Amino acid sequence: MALFSKKQSDLPGRRRAASSRPERATENSLDDRYTFKRNRTLTGSASSRVVSTSEGNANLKSPRVQAHELARQRRHIGGVLALVVSGALVLLGLISQFTATAIVKATDVSFKLDGTYAETIESYFNSQPIERLRFLTNTDHLNEYIQQKNPEVASVRVEGSAGFGKSSFVVKMRRPIAGWSINNKQQYVDETGTAFTRNYYASPAVQITDKSGVQVQAGQAVASNRFLRFVGQAVGLAKQQNYTVTEVVIPSGTTRQVELHLSGIAYPIKLSIDRGVGEQIEDMARAVKWFSSRGQSPQYIDIRVGGKAFYK
């Protein structure tokens, strides 16, 4: 009966059937619901046969992925370690080449040098700090600087490391061939003609007295190699003639002649450096013997002209 029947819905039957069907799933909902069912490989599997492009990003990684990650980590750590070791080696090399303290010694001098030369080298490096690295040291400039401050130094060279932050420098001192009296100041001259005041060797037998009036400072060339060679040959040849030269005088007003003073002879012998030294020494020996045989003692003998001897 209609009174006791259920109330019929106002919706048509077609609509009721449509509303009773479940909602159509969207693409996103399907992705969320069927993640492991739509042509996808399970990532994070413990199986070594599973291959996936996103396997490396999974929480559970296969042994192959773990081996790859360990290899990458080893390469990264190895690269960092190699960089650190390389930097440490470079730093150690620079420190080993650095000159913080100069140790100075002389090869041919028996006694220990004072601190003057080390202070001079330190002063040079203070003005040229980049050259404290031994491989950047300009030895030519260093030699010029030291010779200006210490004319008795002939040369200096860097020998190598003398310890942590220390470098060894070897100096060679000038060896005098004659003493040189300039303006009443005793100096010495080596084979290059350079004058200096500090002598580390035995005093030379020949003393040169400069009366020419030329103003010369220590470290400058007071004579040419030709002049020094002439003096040395004259001293040697006179010794062969049994005469010992005690002094060589450069007279006033000229630098082209010298006066030899002989041991046991009261008068000087005038020589010219423009004439052969051997001929003049032979003329000197004959003239001295001639005056000795007659017991005469002139004020001087001048043998600057060949074949003649002038005296007064």
- Asked if residue 229 and residue 169 are part of one domain, the reply reads no
286 assigned to some structural domain: yes
168 and 207: one domain? no
E strand or H helix at 208, and its extent? strand 207-210
Q: What is the pLDDT of residue 98?
A: 85
Q: Are both 303 and 187 inside the same structural domain?
A: yes
Q: Is the same domain home to 251 and 143?
A: no
> Domain boundary residue among 124, 146, 173?
173
Q: Are residues 212 and 284 in the same domain?
A: yes
Does residue 7 form part of some domain?
A: no
Classify residue 257: in a domain, yes or no. yes
- The domain that contains 150 carries what CATH number? 3.10.20
pLDDT in tens, the chain (312 residues): 454 555 555 555 555 555 555 555 565 555 555 555 555 555 544 445 545 555 555 556 678 878 888 888 888 898 888 899 888 888 887 788 888 888 998 887 777 788 899 999 999 999 999 998 888 899 999 999 999 999 899 999 998 888 888 899 999 998 888 887 776 778 888 877 787 888 888 888 788 887 776 665 555 556 676 777 788 788 888 888 888 888 888 887 777 788 888 888 888 888 888 888 888 888 888 888 888 888 888 888 888 887 777 777
- Of 173, 202, 224, the position where a domain reaches its end is 173
Same domain, 184 and 306: yes
Same domain, 131 and 212: no
Phi-psi category of 50—alpha, beta or left, where left has phi over 0 and alpha has psi -120 to 50?
beta
DSSP SS3 for 61: coil
What's the confidence (pLDDT) of residue 229? Answer: 77
Same domain, residue pair 183 and 307: yes
Q: How many CB atoms lie within 10 A of CB 111?
A: 7
Integer Cα distance of 237 and 227 in angstroms: 15
Nearest-5° Cα angle at 223, 209 to 283: 65
- Amino acid identity of residue 266, one-letter, is A
Q: Which residues contact 22 (CB under 8 A, 6 or more apart)?
A: none
Structural domain of 281: 178-311
63 found inside a domain: no
Which pLDDT score, from 0 to 100, does residue 305 have? 81
For the record, the structure tokens of 310 come out as 């002038």
Query: What is the tally of structural domains in the chain?
Result: 2
CATH of the domain at 193: 3.40.50
> 140 lies in a domain?
yes
* Boundary residue ending a domain (121, 152, 173): 173
Q: How far is CA 256 from CA 44, 53, 223, 280, in A?
A: 105, 100, 11, 14
| Residue 24 belongs to some domain of the structure | no
Instruction: Say what the pTM is.
Output: 0.59
Closest CA relative to residue 199, chosen from 130, 142, 152, 250: 152
In this structure, the answer to whether residues 133 and 189 fall within a common structural domain is no
